Amino acid sequence: MKRRTFIQNASLTGIGVVAGAAALSCKDEKDSTTQASSRSNSAAMIATIPVVIATWNVPTSTAKAWEVLQEGKSALEAIEQGCMVEEANAEGQSVGIGGLPDRDGKVTLDACIMNKHGDYGAVVCMQNIVHPISVARKVMEDTPHVIFAGKGAEEYAVSIGFKRENLLTESSKKAWEKWRKTSLYKPIINIENHDTIGMLAIDKNGDISGGCTTSGLAYKMAGRVGDSAIIGSGLFIDNEIGGATATGLGEEVLKTVGSFLIVELMRQGKSPQEACEEAIGRIIKKTPVFKDFQVGYIAVNKAGETGAYCIHEGFTMMQYQNNENENIPVDFYNKA
């Protein structure tokens, strides 16, 4: 997947914006400020399982996850294999190989995974390993710990059979070299914008798992870790309730523990759509400069109803449900 421009000025003229991407609950029908495309809306009205949703336009990732679910395998297996597709895509500049590097030219990856038991595994700031989602799963399943960082994560991965590979592709290196010529120390808005892959799945047994994987903020300071691998922020699953995952400026997601918040709001009776909107609302309320950055959430509840919301136009959600793999523009806050 190509890096997308998240900025509020991005023009998506002509694309029907789905109210909350998939406001599956009919009671959530939106007013005339948002228009559901008829195809998306018709699919959106039928909440069924299995279901896979993911941040951004990653049809091959959701298709892989769906294929795994159709084989009768677990949501956890679907999440790992679905995320691996994008991690292996060297064209994508925000996840796995080809990710844009930090200011020093190093590609550092964050990822986490959660299963139906609420178990969690993560790696942060890991270099030279293409599939951080798989290492995160190993951390969860095979170690007494939950997060491995930096060199320790890499050494652990190698010790269990992962190969070291150069993750900095020629095009990402060129982009970094260009950025270095003009860069300011201060973060630059368009550089803050990137596209993590967060994925949520429910299998035929109704069990929920999720994963989140990213190379993080382009040209970040060395050692910076975002929300994606942090439980409750980039991802949260409660098999009794549902799951949520995030994309966008990790610092803002971390400060509001967004994914946990969404799951707790669903526990209190909110739809996935309402919960995502409230989580974005918390950021808007406490961060006056929200016009300068993007955050997007997607969520699913136990019934297979989905929702999504973001700050600025341009975010989309993949949804594979009822045998249809759709990329759905997500409704957004900043309509000014």
List, by residue number, the catalytic residues. 196
* Nearest approach, Cβ of residue 27 and ligand GLY (Å): 31
* Nearest approach, Cβ of residue 336 and ligand GLY (Å): 24
* Nearest approach, Cβ of residue 151 and ligand GLY (Å): 19
By CB under 6 A, name the one of 81, 128, 209, 214 that touches ligand GLY: 214
Taking residues 226 to 255 in sequence order and writing x for each that binds ligand GLY by CB under 6 A, - otherwise, the string is: xxx------------------xxxx-----
Letter for the amino acid at 308? A
Q: What residues does 329 pair with on adjacent strands? A: 316
C-alpha 44 chain-centroid distance? 20
**What is the separation, in whole angstroms, between the first and last Cα of the chain?**
28
Q: Given the complex with ligand GLY, which of 20 and 248 has the nearer CB atom?
A: 248
Contact 88, 97 (CB under 8 A): yes
Classify residue 200 by its DSSP letter.
E
In whole angstroms, what is the distance from residue 66 CA to residue 201 CA? 9
* Nearest approach, Cβ of residue 228 and ligand GLY (Å): 4
* Nearest approach, Cβ of residue 235 and ligand GLY (Å): 11
Distances from the Cα of 246 to the Cαs of 39, 73, 203, 212, 261, in angstroms? 25, 25, 21, 8, 11
Tokens of 260: 């946990």
Reduce the DSSP state of residue 293 to 3 states and report it: coil
By CB under 6 A, name the one of 98, 211, 216, 232 that touches ligand GLY: 216
Q: Given the complex with ligand GLY, which of 49 and 217 has the nearer CB atom?
A: 217
Beta-sheet pairing, 51-55 with 147-149 = unpaired
Helix axes 272-286, 258-267, angle to 10 degrees: 130
In whole angstroms, what is the distance from residue 113 CA to residue 154 CA? 17
Q: Given the complex with ligand GLY, which of 28 and 227 has the nearer CB atom?
A: 227
Only segment of 98-106, 169-177, 209-217, 268-276 that touches ligand GLY (CB under 6 A): 209-217
Q: Given the complex with ligand GLY, which of 23 and 249 has the nearer CB atom?
A: 249
Taking residues 278 to 307 in sequence order and writing x for each that binds ligand GLY by CB under 6 A, - otherwise, the string is: ------------------------------
Reduce the DSSP state of residue 295 to 3 states and report it: strand
Instruction: List for the chain the helix, strand, coil content (%; round to 5).
Output: 30, 20, 45
Q: Given the complex with ligand GLY, which of 89 and 214 has the nearer CB atom?
A: 214
Q: What residues does 121 pair with on adjacent strands? A: 113
Q: Given the complex with ligand GLY, which of 214 and 287 has the nearer CB atom?
A: 214
* Nearest approach, Cβ of residue 78 and ligand GLY (Å): 22
Contact 300, 200 (CB under 8 A): yes
Is residue 196 involved in binding ligand GLY (CB under 6 A)? Answer: yes
Only segment of 38-46, 165-173, 214-222, 274-282 that touches ligand GLY (CB under 6 A): 214-222
Number of residues interacting with ligand GLY: please give it, by CB under 6 A: 11
Q: Which residues bind ligand GLY (CB under 6 A)?
A: 196, 214, 216-217, 226-228, 247-250
